[in-house]
Amino acid sequence: MRVVLAEDLFLLRDGLVRLLEAHDFEIAAAVESGPELSRALAELDPDVAVVDVRLPPTHTDEGLQCALEARRRRPGLPVLVLSQHVEQLYARELLADDSGAVGYLLKDRVFDAEQFVDAVRRVAAGGTAMDPQVIQQLLARKSADDRPLARLTPREREVLEEMAQGRSNAAIAGKLVVTERAIAKHTANIFAKLGLEVSDDDNRRVLAVLAHLDHGR
């Protein structure tokens, strides 16, 4: 699997290269600036891009904008964005086209090698990998005035957070140490209470949940 990596901090970039190569990824390019990233995405046609939001020369949202432009040229290009802080605007921009194959992780997650590599693979496969803190902030923002969310039980909210991060019923069941059948029942209840169409497709249901959480922004 070929990866284009964009990170301006040398030590972190080098560490990510070594980590990904250790898990059988091929690094097509490892760059440090927006212009380099744009060229690499246009010329190398990677399987997935792992991109720091803030890159030279602007150090604002250069990396994100380069990735979004690349997705406009190649719809569905898998992109995993890394950010120092939770910025909901960036998450919304990334999810705006509803096509999946996107991820938004805080850089702290990079230090959990298994979680990070799983997110890269999930995004490359067309799935969605959202940082738990992004989901928690969306839930907190909506809970105050959203009656459907208020009707969820504590366990259903827990399952919702896991679902919105891109995990399947089997993965959620394993993490919460319950049966997959129990998770299927919880997810059915969640979709019914939120007024969403039930879907067995992991990515479609993630996008449906995120769209609901972000509704009315």
Alpha-carbon Rg for the chain in angstroms: 17
pLDDT tens string 199-215: 777 777 777 777 777 65
How would residue 140 be classed by pLDDT, with cut points 50, 70 and 90? confident
Tell me, what's the pLDDT at 71? 93
In this prediction, residues 92-113 reach a mean pLDDT of: 84
Contact 81, 64 (CB under 8 A): yes
How would residue 142 be classed by pLDDT, with cut points 50, 70 and 90? low
Tell me, what's the pLDDT at 123? 94
pLDDT tens string 143-153: 655 677 778 89
Secondary structure of the chain in the HEC alphabet?
CEEEEECCCHHHHHHHHHHHHHCCCEEEEEECCHHHHHHHHHHHCCCEEEEECCCCCCCCCHHHHHHHHHHHHCCCCCEEEEECCCCHHHHHHHHCCCCCCEEEEEHHHHHCHHHHHHHHHHHHCCCEEECHHHHHHHHHHHHCCCHHHHCCCHHHHHHHHHHHCCCCHHHHHHHHCCCHHHHHHHHHHHHHHHCCCCCCCHHHHHHHHHHHHCCCC
Q: Which of 193, 126, 125 is nearest to 160 (CA)?
A: 193
pLDDT tens string 105-137: 999 888 889 989 999 999 999 988 888 887 877
pLDDT at 35 over 70: yes
Higher pLDDT, 98 or 188: 188
